[in-house]
Amino acid sequence: MTNSPILGSPVKRKEDKALLNGSAKFMADLSMPGMVHMVFLDSPHAHAKIKKINLDKAKSIEGVLDIITGEDIKQYNPLPVLMNPAGEKGKFPPHPWGFPAGQTILAVDKVRHIGETVAAVAATTLEAAQRAAKNIQVDYEVLPHVLDARSALKDGAPIVHDNIPDNVCQYVSWGNKEAAQAAIGKAEVVVNHHLPYQLVSACPVETRSTIADYDSTTEDYTLWTNTQIPHINRAALCGLVLGIPFNKLRVVVPEVGGSYGCKGYIYNDTAVALVMAKRVGRPVKWVDTREGLYRRTTHARGSDVDATIAGDKSGKISALYCSNFATLGAYSTFNGPGAPAALTGMSVTGAYAIEHPFYEVNIAYSNRQMVGPMRGAGRTEGLYVIERLIDLYADEIGMDPVDVRRINYIKNDDFPYKNGLGFTYDSGNYELALDQALDKANLKEIEQKRQEAATRGKLLGFGVSSYAAVTGVGPSPYMHNVIGLNGGTYGTAHLRVHQSGDAQLHIGSQPHGQGHVTVFSQVVAEELGIDLDRIEVIHSDTKGNLPIGGSYGSRSYQIEGGAVAVACQKVKAKATTMAAHMLGCRAEDIIHQQGEYSVRTDASKKVTLPEISNALHNAWDLPEGLDPGLEMIAYWDPKDFAFPFGSHVAFVEIDQDTGEVDVVQYIAVDDFGKVCNPGIVDGQTHGNIYAGLSQALMEQIVHDKNGVVINSLELHYGSVRPSHLPLFDVTRTETTTPHTPHGGKGAGDVAINGVPPAVVSAVCNAIGVKHIDTPLTPEKVWMAMQSKP
């Protein structure tokens, strides 16, 4: 073990060998003896009654083992909704237990969006299952439908759920409405703007997939699925959907080919596969198609905000008022209301001290695919609003937008800072990040750069954005009492030091590309002085003694890493007690350094961690009251959230003939507190910037008037190609948080928050217009150029 620090070093990822040599196993790679294939029949209609289903022709196809419809399994409960910010005022479809309900696991009586599953076929071959699904005859009575929140809330709109005649799931507000309205009424400057933010798909490389198996002898179920939340899936499927004993379901997650939030749900295919596996007595496998991804997997974003910002001509902002209209789609996901209600609503003040903020949202049902959180969930929608408003306000008063930001930043001495919407910001140094980003941008040369671009038929522009974004889903009391989450959000870790001094760490966090094995090994190595290659990290399996876990909301290092650090501290405390016994001194006389425990007054008297662990496992001579072995289970439930922040600068060039936008330089200065592995965090930041650029420039789920996603094929759903982007210039400042043992804040879906507003600002700067809605397609940009006076 070297004396150099492990925490904070860019050590190479331990996970990559298997990924690079092709030995890593993803869902599509898995096969089991006797395994059969399952295919779903989806609704072709946005809204329709199911009058009759004829299975005769489908059942006659060779290889078909079983076909299930909603009528066959309607005894099972609907999927649960576990996040309900409105509490008792929230409205959901009926549930036999009165629980907030999502969709039934197969449609019964009615379909409410295109892609809703009507039937499931199990067959010995995939081809037979597909043929059978196509031969299921369904008699539908097509009903009127509604596709967006504003339309769904109008009088006389088609009713999505009979028990919710106004289509309102919930109304939620944060802040003081009357105070905000009064401040706006008194303000010297008032700017109003409508700011929609388009619906998108997370679009992972790997589609969702499930394998289910049932052992009739033991009555045990096993579910293999590429989810972010195996523990939550296990608890919900057992206790709230299928009604099977908790100990009878094991959930295992293989390698995951990307998620970006869309695999962080409880989906109906998992429940159907478990039921089908028991019925046919064989393992059942389902793998979604690329087209199916856009119809069955949750969409994201889709906010529709009417916003007002007010203040004086010196640039000081006094009030903010935002009214959002958001749709959940036909059903709520298990956390659907959380993003538009809490994450957007509480985040909309961004990095700014605004005395009178107010946010309200009407969340409605509509006849489209479910909408839920994805990378940057809720925060990116809210931070886009405030950043665009800052630019529009600056334009209104004739001030540099950078100066407006500086004037209104939360000051360093004001932390911890209550933002008036429910969040308390932990720490920050916003001007430092902005200064570093502007230094890199070298805006003194901007006019020279514009002139050079013009010689090539290009318009050059730049845009600046700042953000502060909440991370680390927890603390559990706040998540339940304020945001309405039915469940705990603490982190868990089980750490065992073997007799040899090697360590085994079992984590509740679920990796899907973030490098958890490496990062958590670094925490253990730093705390206990164990070499990285002697640390085993176990994950992705609910078989064990960890009750909870998952990876979402930039919580893994911040929350699960906190649990790992606490487990290490508990191990050190026990090891210290044993070392004192072995060396014949008091525990307070022991000091620990790099895996060695020595006497403070005589460094020659020392024992190593392997020697201590060996003695504890042998248990030949233990001090009174000390148990054998060296292992600890630890929990970490933080006192509050963390708020990483940053400032970004984007440079774009626009083709004057076509309106095509090229991002030619991108600068990001972010602050994630004390990072564990800079290389991994750089990778996360690059991915965030890419996702933000893609949302800003191209991505959008497009429905036709009948509710069909018309760009549901990969070649039709536009996303930015990495080959069209510059190398990103990323760097960090470091402002630690008091809310984690290691001072680290979240990073997994943070930097994305600065990207779309910076790019929109840059395009508007290049053209000389105030605003263009995302996505900034060549057509939109060209039209903006033509409409300029």
3-state secondary structure of 285: strand
The pLDDT, as a whole number, for residue 712 is: 79
Q: Specify the DSSP element, H or E, that contains 138.
A: strand 137-142
- Distance separating alpha carbons of residues 493 and 724, to the nearest angstrom: 42
The pLDDT, as a whole number, for residue 654 is: 98
Q: What is the DSSP string of 446-481?
A: HHHHHHHHHTTTEEEEEEEEEEE--BS---HHHHHH
Stretches where the chain sits below pLDDT 70 are 1-4, 547, 713-715
- Distance separating alpha carbons of residues 236 and 251, to the nearest angstrom: 12
The pLDDT, as a whole number, for residue 547 is: 67
> What's the Rg (C-alpha) of the chain?
28
The pLDDT, as a whole number, for residue 714 is: 59
Q: Specify the DSSP element, H or E, that contains 29.
A: none
pTM, to two decimals: 0.95
Q: What is the DSSP string of 612-628?
A: HHHHHHH-SS--TTPPS
Q: Which of left, alpha, beta for 433 (phi over 0: left; psi -120 to 50: alpha)? A: alpha
- Distance separating alpha carbons of residues 391 and 401, to the nearest angstrom: 5
Query: DSSP assignment, residue 93?
Result: S
Which residues does residue 111 pair with via DSSP β-bridges, in sequence order? 48
Q: What is the DSSP string of 321-352?
A: EEEEEEEEESS--TTTTHIIIIIHHHHTTTTB
- Distance separating alpha carbons of residues 53 and 381, to the nearest angstrom: 42
SS3 content of the chain, % helix, strand, coil (to 5): 30, 25, 40
Tens of pLDDT, residue by residue over 676-702, are 999 999 999 999 999 999 999 999 999
